[in-house]
Amino acid sequence: MSRTILLTLVALFLFPGCDGESRWGADWPSEAERTIRPKHAPTPFTAAQICAGCPDGRRSTWRNEGPDGKPYLHTFTFSEGTEKDVRLTSEVTSLDGKPLRPAGGNRSPWTSLQSHASFPEATTTIDRETLRLPAGWFHCMRYTREGDTEGTYQRYWFAHELPGPPVLMEQYKEGALAFRMVLVKHEAP
């Protein structure tokens, strides 16, 4: 058996549905149900999926790094969720847990959270990809949004298993990585 066939079989055994069809298949909301603005690409999730995937107590932490090279942690906690909205608390700390700014929170409608992933169709491509991040393995939809200038674009990876914010985000300016946000920890109630 060739090495390629063997690796493919191992991947399918370890990551069933990594082709995306069984994970993002017929039971997934249609593109029309996920499109919230004219001439925009469908979002990865509906507001109802985000609501169901972000119950009270969901807490996710990303490691962020910008052009200054100083990484920090950004944690979101979901609480007091209703059918229409949720309280989203944000904490920003150094890697050793020291607060870098006061924690804060506000209520956000689920539809507003969905709209954060609504990008113009003409400049957006959507692909499927399986990622291994510090927080685990994820089956993702990767959104690539081209910018106005050459070499400027953004990539967002939304995990099927975690409706809501992207598990990975990268911003490029003039072909160089300008900002990266990667999920390092996820706690579900």
- Which helix H or strand E contains 153, and what residues bound it? strand 153-159
Query: What's the total number of domains in the chain?
Result: 1
Q: Residue 181: name the closest of 168, 162, 166, 164 by CA.
A: 168
Residue 31 dihedral angles phi and psi, to the nearest 5°: -60, -40
Judged against a pLDDT cut of 70, whether residue 33 lies above it is answered with yes
Read off the pLDDT band of 68 (50, 70, 90): confident
Q: Residue 69's pLDDT is what?
A: 79
pTM of the model: 0.86
CA 138 to CA 159: how far, in whole Å? 6
- Which helix H or strand E contains 12, and what residues bound it? helix 3-14
Tracing tokens 């953004």 back to the chain, one arrives at 154
β 59-65/85-93 pair status: unpaired
Domain with 48 in it: 3-187
User: Would you state the structure tokens that stand for residue 120, as one six-digit string?
Assistant: 């113009």
3-state secondary structure at position 9: helix
Q: Residue 23's pLDDT is what?
A: 54
Lowest mean pLDDT among 7-11, 134-138, 146-150, 160-164: 7-11
Mean pLDDT of 166-172: 97
CA 67 to CA 172: how far, in whole Å? 10
Mean pLDDT of 172-180: 93
pLDDT, tens digit, 9 for 90 and up, residues 23-32: 567 788 999 9
Cite the DSSP H helix spans in 40-104: 47-53
CATH of the domain at 72: 2.40.360
